[in-house]
Amino acid sequence: MARPGRPAMPKPELSPTVDSFLDMLTTERGAAMNTRQAYWRDLADVSLFLKANRSTDIDKANTEDLKAYIKDLSGKTHTKGANKSKIAVRTVARRLSALRQFYRFLVSENARTDDPTSTIESPKQGRTLPKTLSEDEVTALIKTAGERGTVEGIRLVCLLEMLYATGLRVSELVGLPLSAIGENSQFIMVEGKAGRERMVPLSDPAQKALSAYTEVRPELFIDPAEAKKNTWLFPSKTSGSGHLTRQRFAQLLKDLAKEAKIDEDRVSPHILRHAFATHLLSNGADLRSVQKMLGHADIATTQIYTHILGEEAKKTVKEKHPLSKTGSKK
């Protein structure tokens, strides 16, 4: 299913080697289903272009075929609302990275003797810092959700408090089973990427929000017996998984942002994860501890949040320091 705002991609007949590659990602590297689907989208887009414009399939493409695809992709624009912009450099880089891994897999499986991406240079990327929210904005979102006074509002407060208290990936949050809640709701057990488990503590506000939500959770069901049978913390009657979906939670946040008078483009589950990390570090948390809570395998991934703090400090100096104004202060 396409994400909200993203047009559905035609379902192409992909080369069997693509399925073999995706199966390898899942079985050997422990890639999550979302990761597998992301690779499928990237390789499907390349396959569609090659068949339509180069009369070849992805597993038989040569370097010139792939350069033609990269050139075409780099020249495209995408539309978001009323705005049009060039395809981001990072999108081109990600697509090329997927192709590199695909062809290396083919070479390792003796399905090809060459890697057609070996002489293609990756586009240069500037450092893009993650978007985040201020502490006041997060507080406004939670307060606005709490003012609704409905079961759905109580659930949304719980989702917000838990996400802001733990920094979970959205798929980890919505897919929490009831069994993940630890003793006295003081922590949760999370299974992250590649099956790595971690224990994440809950703040006092998150514990209170969780307690309030679990009391009203049965009201989400018409039949009380269904509430006992459903094993998900955030159940859904309409999703095939049985629990709230990433897409639905993202839409709930967009609606909440409008209500709280915050730019909806600045609010998403992932941005709240960024806010969690940034606010912890700005209040003196240890980088290694934040890495563990975020579930990052490499601390270099976590260090990006220190750059956000650096940019915020520079902005504060520029706006507030008297000597940063035009001319020196007499």
CA 324 to chain centre: 37
Return the H-helix or E-strand segment holding 154: helix 151-166
Burial class (CB in 10 A: 0-12, 13-18, 19+), 19: exposed
Position 313 scores a pLDDT of: 43
Rounded to the nearest 10°, the torsion over CA 188, 192, 194, 198 is: -40
Position 160 scores a pLDDT of: 96
- Structural domain spans, the chain: 16-108, 135-266
CA distances from 39 to 25, 31, 248 (A): 9, 10, 22
Residues 6+ apart with CB under 8 A from 105: 20, 21, 24
What does CATH list as the number for 135-266?
1.10.443.10
Position 289 scores a pLDDT of: 74
* 3-class state of residue 276 by DSSP: helix
pTM, entire model: 0.60
Give per-10-residue mean pLDDT for the chain (330 aa).
49 88 89 88 95 95 96 72 59 91 95 95 65 89 95 96 89 92 84 77 93 93 80 87 92 95 91 85 75 71 60 44 43
Q: What is the pLDDT of residues 172-192, one digit of tens each?
A: 999 999 999 977 788 898 887
Residues assigned a catalytic role: 169, 193, 270, 273, 296, 305
Q: For residues 59 and 112, is the Cβ–Cβ distance under 8 A?
A: yes
